A and B are shown apart, each in its own frame.
Chain A
Amino acid sequence: MDPRAWKRFRKNKGALFGGVLVAVVTFAAFVGPWVAPHDPALQFTDTLIRGDTGLPAAAFTVTGHPLGGDAIGRDELSRLLHGGAVSMKVAFFATSLAVFVGLLVGVVTGYFRGKFDFLAMRFVDVLLSIPFLIVATAVQMIIDSPSLWSLYLLLGLLSWTTLARVTRAKTMQVSELDFVQAARALGASHGRILAKHILPNVLGPAIVIATTMVSTMIIAESALSFLGLGVRPPAASWGSMLKEGQEFLAHAPRLVIYPGLLIMMTVFGFNLLGEGLRDALDPKDSR
């Protein structure tokens, strides 16, 4: 990797800002479940549901519950903290899976070419032509008991295609370069060439794509949870909280605003970071 990359990155205020946002959210996701004041599934019906109307208590009205309660009297702050962990977990695992599959397919097809390349790329075309949400919805409905793991698998296995295409192109380009030819002439094995010469060169674009993919995953998880196909009750994720709050938009808009703002911030952070990394790692592409 280009040693000047870090220097370029550091100079970039937008990217740094994104990095800080990402760091804060990731940190919160890690420690959130530990510092959450209450069990996110516990219902404080007596204190967090107002006796006169049945509406959830507002923020800063009940001691011990700084952000008030949700529609059935659970502590909003604890749910946000736990929900963040779930959202980030989904984003992290699904992205890792997508990166792994994408890199593998991209590098192998780009290096060996031939029939396998042709078939794999047509398969990618097919996958890219199917609307993501429709497939995800259908699969989640078919699965008898959808869990977080099925969510990771589903999101991961549906999103590796772009990454595969980019790494394939990059691999093709790199494998024509002199140092790869030289290694081949010296009798290096395919494995050695792939690991020592090709992979380090395609990693840059892959990291960039992965960062932006994290934000896509957060949105996708929110969308699925919003459709009722994401996490299973009583667990919370930011997306499912958004949906739960929607009915109460007129009476308790905060139930929508909190998770909505958090999703926005996280996605914004990852996007800024991704764009920063792209320009830092690939100076020729800068606009």
Chain B
Amino acid sequence: MTVRQPPPVRRTPRNVAFTRALWRHATVGVAAFVFGLWVTGCPKPPDGPRYEGAGADKPTYGGTFRFYVTANVRSLDPQIAFDTLSGTGIHLMFDGLLDYTNEAKLTPVLAASMPEVLEDGHTYRFRLRKGVHFHDSPVFPGGKGRELTADDVKWTLERLLDPKTQSPGAFFFTAIDGAGDRQQGKTKDVRGIKVVDRYTVDITLAELDQTFLNSMAMTFAYPLPHENYEAHPTDVSFHPVGTGPYVFDHWERGVRITLNKNKHYWQPGLPYIDRMVFDENLTPDVAAMRFRNGDYDHGHHFRQPDYIFFSQSDKWRPYMFSEPDVTIWGYFMNCEMPPFDNVHIRRAIAAAIDRERWARIYKGRYMPTGQILPPQLMGYDAKLPHAQKFDLDLAKEEMRLAGFPNGLPDPITVWTQEGESAKAQAELLQADLRKIGIPVDIKPVSFATYLTESGKRGRVPMALSGWNLDFPDPADFLDVLLNSSAIHDVASENRSFYSNPELDRILNAARVEPDEAKRTALYREANDITAHDAPWVFIYNPIEFQVRQPYLRNYTVHPVYKYNYRFVWLDLPRRRLAP
């Protein structure tokens, strides 16, 4: 029997162990380096468009139009959806009685003409276009889309005002006579909406409201057939039936929406595209990359670096859109919370922000401003007497008037949203306010938290905030953000809790004023008061930046809802320019 020798002990000198450790680390490093080289060496998208069009001078029919959004589409129910992304989808499948032209003017669509105002002065008579049919759908008997009538208009508005619907848009229609009773569930019928005949409907307002026709152009008022709701009472969103140029096909929630051409569209010869594919939830950098690859026909929502790439590229330049957006960005200050209950502190802050400096960093994306109204709206004045502007001496003087010549002893808490851009803007504010001795604590929160908390009384002292138009009228900015009627204990839209009876009086008068020149003068005055009282520090109007593929035609940035793909066409067959 042989005795097994124990295996020889493998002794590793310590130095060898270290050399090995060193090598192990080094190997990882080299591997990372090689990976980096491989990534950067990967085939990059071309520096210009990959495809160009065939060069047709008349619209070509057919093809699939592919586009994307950078978040979730929340709803395709016209009475529920209230965000730009959902609106993009709804505009493709539905028509309104009224809509906006590319110049942001109201224009009749399902209405045969602009509504006439009856003798009483506050009744609008809408005459409908005849022969407009809803999409073919199983919700109708026989599956054939029936004709749109005045009853559909009445039913849709009553559904909108129904408390069960919980529409976020109901508040735009409260001027209709009897709307309040319907909203409180007292009546089923709204007495201010009368069907005169099959193609005529009268809408009576309890009191005159110059913004009402704008409400009728919002997607909330786009007619929905009652059969659609009766067949799918809880999920109209997944079975939308409208009169628009495209018919709903399929929605894989969070991923993709597909639509097909409405072959029986009431406008002869329209639309041009056979199929629309609408990808959701793309991150902006992936979207930019895929757009450059030629996977999407239209690009938007770019981050600053991608913006820089496109704006510096000669090859992309002819296909860029750079349009001032009807949006205001700034910081609201809660006028009920110290130290912002002191108007001098607010004015000091408004004068301390070096807006040109911000615009230098966000070159080509920001336009500095010092008033609530964007330049496209009536009441805007480039020479507004009290427009906020950067003036360090004035800011210091206001700090002295406020009783704090040496600055505030305690930091103010400023809420921002998450993300690098919001953080950078908070740091810009921090640096500007440091010059007048106001220390700033930054509190980043999610957008949802910001929305709920800033609507509560006495909760958020100051926050980065923006407002994008619902319709092109100054009331949508001034009434919503600063009228004291918009103050509530929770869900306040007037997040600065600014209350000024004089401003309220002007705004309420402007809302009903029929004379355009007088109305403009009233809004200009309101604009000046709010700039001077500074419930917000108004900082910039952003610039909407979009890029199209060369073969995408008949597309323009829409002044109200940004993305209008209704009647675009593709110049097919597209030709490959770059490998």
Contacts and interface: CB of A to CB of B under 8 A. Distances in A.
Given A71-B424, A271-B25, A287-B12, A41 B361 contact: no
Nearest to A267: B25
Given A53-B308, A247-B420, A250-B309, A8 B431 contact: no
B308 A54 contact: yes
Contact of B442 (A8, A54, A233, A251): A233
Given A232-B442, A234-B431, A243 B14 contact: no
A54 B311 CA distance: 12
Contacts of A248: 305
B426 interface: yes
Interface string A46-58: 1001011111000
Contacts of A234: 427, 430-431
A13 interface: yes
Interface string B312-324: 1000000000000
Interface stretch (A90-98, A156-164, A166-174, A272-280): A272-280
A45 B423 contact: no
A247 B308 contact: no
A112 to B, nearest CB: 36
Complex A-B, nearest 5 residue pairs according to Cβ-Cβ distance, in ascending order: A54-B363, A14-B18, A45-B357, A43-B431, A234-B427
B15 A13 contact: yes
A243 B17 contact: no
Which of A17, A42, A286 has the most B CB atoms < 10 Å from its CB? A286
Interface in B46-96: none
A286 B17 contact: yes
Contacts of B393: none
A145 interface: yes
A251 B428 contact: no
Contacts of A71: 361, 420, 424
A42 B434 CA distance: 10
A247 B305 contact: yes
Interface in A219-272: 228, 232-234, 243-244, 246-251, 264, 268, 271-272
Instruction: Decide if the interface of chain B is mainly helix, strand, loop or mixed.
Output: helix
A11 B13 CA distance: 11
A279 B16 CA distance: 12
Interface string B399-431: 000000000000000000010100110111011
B423 A15 contact: no
Contact of B441 (A17, A145, A247, A287): A145
A24 to B, nearest CB: 17
Contacts of A249: 305
B313 to A, nearest CB: 12
A61 interface: no
B39 to A, nearest CB: 11
Given A42-B431, A72-B424, A14 B19 contact: yes
B15 A12 contact: yes
Contacts of B576: none
23 contacts: A11-B14, A12-B15, A14-B18, A41-B427, A41-B434, A45-B354, A45-B361, A46-B357, A51-B363, A53-B308, A54-B362, A73-B361, A232-B442, A233-B427, A233-B430, A244-B423, A247-B420, A248-B305, A249-B305, A251-B305, A272-B22, A279-B17, A287-B12
B105 interface: no
B232 interface: no
Contacts of A13: 15, 18-19
A53 B442 contact: no
Interface in A7-32: 8, 11-15, 17
Interface string B430-448: 1100100000011110000
B361 A49 contact: yes
B265 to A, nearest CB: 43
A233 B420 CA distance: 11
Interface of B: 12, 14-15, 17-19, 21-22, 25, 29, 303-305, 308-309, 312, 354, 357, 360-364, 418, 420, 423-424, 426-428, 430-431, 434, 441-444
A79 to B, nearest CB: 12
User: Interface residue tally of chain A, by bracket?
Assistant: 35 or more
Given A14-B21, A53-B312, A251-B308, A228 B444 contact: yes
Contacts of B22: 14, 17, 272
Contact of A11 (B15, B304, B441): B15
A251 B19 CA distance: 38
Nearest to B432: A43
Contact of B430 (A14, A41, A243, A250): A41
Contact of B363 (A42, A53, A275, A286): A53
Contacts of B443: 145
A248 B444 CA distance: 21
Contacts of B431: 41-43, 234
A127 to B, nearest CB: 28
A168 to B, nearest CB: 27
A42 B362 CA distance: 18
Most central of A72, A268, A276, A286 by chain B CB within 10 Å: A72
A276 B12 contact: no
Interface of A: 8, 11-15, 17, 41-43, 45-46, 49, 51-55, 71-73, 145, 228, 232-234, 243-244, 246-251, 264, 268, 271-272, 275-276, 279, 286-287
Given A49-B361, A54-B360, A73-B361, A228 B304 contact: no
A51 B427 CA distance: 20
A13 B441 CA distance: 47
A174 B251 CA distance: 67
B426 A247 contact: no
Contacts of A41: 427, 430-431, 434
Contacts of B442: 232-233
B18 A276 contact: yes
Contacts of A286: 12, 14, 17
Contacts of B19: 13-14
B423 A279 contact: no
B360 A49 contact: yes
Contacts of B434: 41
A65 B370 CA distance: 33
Given A72-B428, A233-B426, A275 B18 contact: yes
A279 B14 contact: yes
Contacts of A45: 354, 357, 360-361
Contacts of B363: 51-54
A54 B19 CA distance: 47
Which residue among B360, B361, B428, B434 has the maximum number of chain A CB atoms within 10 Å of its CB? B361
B61 to A, nearest CB: 39
Contacts of B304: 54, 247
B444 A15 contact: no
A272 B18 CA distance: 8
Given A42-B431, A233-B430, A250 B21 contact: no
Contacts of A43: 357, 427-428, 431
A287 B18 contact: no
B48 to A, nearest CB: 16
A25 B361 CA distance: 33
A244 B305 CA distance: 13
A234 B414 CA distance: 13
B134 to A, nearest CB: 46
Contacts of A15: 18
Contact of B25 (A46, A52, A268): A268
Contacts of B18: 12-15, 272, 275-276, 279
Nearest to A252: B305
Contacts of A287: 12, 17
Nearest to B284: A247
Contacts of A17: 22
A228 B25 CA distance: 29
